[in-house]
Amino acid sequence: MNNGAGVRVAYALQQIINGVTLGMIYGLIAVGYTMVYGIIGMINFAHGDIFMIGAFLSLMGLTVLSALGITSVPLALAITLIAACSIAALYGWSVERIAYRPLRGSFRMAPLISAIGMSIVLQNFVQVSQGARDLNLMPLIPGGLKVMEEDGFVVQLSWMQVAITITTLAMLGIFTWLVTKTPLGRSMRACEQDLKMATLLGIDTDRTISLTFVIGAALATVAGMMFLLYYGSINFYIGFSAGVKAFTAAVLGGVGSLPGAVLGGLAIGLIESLWSGYASVQYKNVAAFSVLVVVLIFMPSGLLGRADIEKV
């Protein structure tokens, strides 16, 4: 790393590429957090674990398909994506139905504790049912683009990284459209502003909230699948730190704002990757979590969020 400016630039570029990719995954998870938080004002602690379940379902789908003899990678990915998203959406729906809906209107700590309980349940459910060891996947989308080469240091932009970035941005576009332009989005925004008033105006709030959870879970599954394809190794514990970081991203971007979530994810991904590249790999989680603390103290409404005034 000490052979001149060119290599240093190349190194920084590689870290930035990796950081953006990571940030896109966080951003996609963060969208689920931010939508749920926007509507019912609670942290869905189990969201990170839905992401983890999504990754497991994707791995299972890909393994089953390859066992069935389907060799076309795009076809296998598409089938797996659809199957995993629908099952994970069912998980999201069940979590909301079992653990959160009966608690609407209870005292404020109740849904939070219930969410933590649900997160523990999902994590340990996967540990018990699929074992605690890492599960690996062969890389499915190999190859990439050589961006630059400097004194033997090659800056790689893999096709996987391109795919992750494009998918996240496409998802962001689709869901921004969904929230701003469709009847469902209108109900969501109404629930976000005033749940009681929305009920009075004839919006089926239970259905809207359920759908929000379903959408959030599907997005988390997309993120989980990308995580699986990118890192090739998953275990039951990946949801915990990814969940906290994605939540940090959601807060950083401003809770309730979809582009904010992806922007926050990018920031967290870059911080983590640059920190690992230049400071120390061991402390990368400390860096990301410290950002959370700092943001909450100095900028509680985030980059693109509205200030939150508590009314009586």
Partner 1 sequence: MVRDAGLSALVALGLFSSMIGVRMTQGDDGMTLTGRGGALAAVVAAVFVGRLIMLAWRARRPAGTPSPKRVDAGLSRIGRYVAPVFLIAAIALPLYGGRYFLDTGILVLTYIMLGWGLSIVVGLAGLLDLGYVAFYAVGAYSYALLSTTYHLGFWTTLPIAGVLAAIWGIILGFPVLRLRGDYLAIVTLAFGEIIRVVLLNWTSLTGGPNGITDIPRPTLFGLKFNASGDADTFATYFGLDYSVTQRFVFLYYVILGLALLTNWVSLRLRRLPLGRAWEALREDEIACRALGINVTITKLTAFAIGAMFGGFAGAFFATRQAFISPESFNFAESAMVLAIVVLGGMGSQLGVALAALVMIGGSELFRDFAEYRMLIFGIGLVVMMVVRPRGLVSGRTPSIFLGKRKDIAADLVAQGRG
**d(C-alpha 74, C-alpha 51), whole Å:** 22
The alpha carbons of the chain give a radius of gyration, in whole angstroms, of 20
**d(C-alpha 54, C-alpha 222), whole Å:** 7
Residue 142 touches partner 1, criterion: CB under 8 A? no
Residue 26 touches partner 1, criterion: CB under 8 A? no
**d(C-alpha 226, C-alpha 274), whole Å:** 21
251-290: contacts with partner 1 (CB under 8 A): 251, 280, 282-283, 285-286, 289-290
Give the residue, chosen from 72, 296, 299, 306, that forms a contact with partner 1 under the rule CB under 8 A: 296
CB of 95 to partner 1, least distance (A): 9
Give the HSE-up count for residue 268: Cα atoms under 13 Å, Cβ half-sphere. 40
**d(C-alpha 14, C-alpha 291), whole Å:** 22
Q: Give which of 124, 103, 121 is closest to 112, Cα–Cα.
A: 103
DSSP symbols for 187-244: HHHHHHH-HHHHHHTT--HHHHHHHHHHHHHHHHHHHHHHHHHHH-EE-TTHHHHHHH
Give the residue, chosen from 5, 71, 74, 109, that forms a contact with partner 1 under the rule CB under 8 A: 109
CB of 213 to partner 1, least distance (A): 14
CB of 184 to partner 1, least distance (A): 22
Q: Nearer to partner 1 by C-beta: 185 or 232? A: 232
- Please choose, out of 18-26, 95-103, 143-151, 219-227, the segment that lies near partner 1 by the rule CB under 8 A: 95-103
Provide the residue type at 201 as one letter: L
CB of 219 to partner 1, least distance (A): 19
- Which residues are at the interface with partner 1 (CB under 8 A)? 42-43, 53, 56-57, 59-60, 63-64, 67, 87, 90-91, 94, 98-99, 102-103, 106-114, 116-121, 123-131, 133-136, 138, 240-241, 244, 247-248, 251, 280, 282-283, 285-286, 289-290, 292-293, 296-297, 300, 308, 310, 312
